[in-house]
Structure 1
Amino acid sequence: MRHISRGQANKMIASKLAISEGTVKNLLNKLALGSRSEAAAWLNGVLWRLSRM
């Protein structure tokens, strides 16, 4: 998720994590978020809440 929040493309994320681009897409789909922007916003919100604990 860190890579998504930084705006990296699926291809670059897959390369950095040594997984396929399809796996990256599947992971995003499992989060049931509409877009990469939505995923990044969701993650930033989660991280913000965790930092307040």
Structure 2
Amino acid sequence: MKCPICKKEVKLGDPEMPFCSERCRLIDLGMWSAEEYRIPGPSAESTQKPEDEEDE
């Protein structure tokens, strides 16, 4: 298997699996926290009801 960040080979038993190192693991975490990764789907704005249409 290859590290998703730097593409180095990673063995199944490696402690940072699926990453090759703590550095690559932290880079990936930073990308998630900066919202650089997104799951496709409708935007949050399109799924919310306008305030005047909310159930009372």
TM-score, with structure 1 as normaliser:
0.36
Q: Which has the higher helix share?
A: 1
TM-score (norm 2): 0.34
Q: Which has the larger radius of gyration?
A: 2
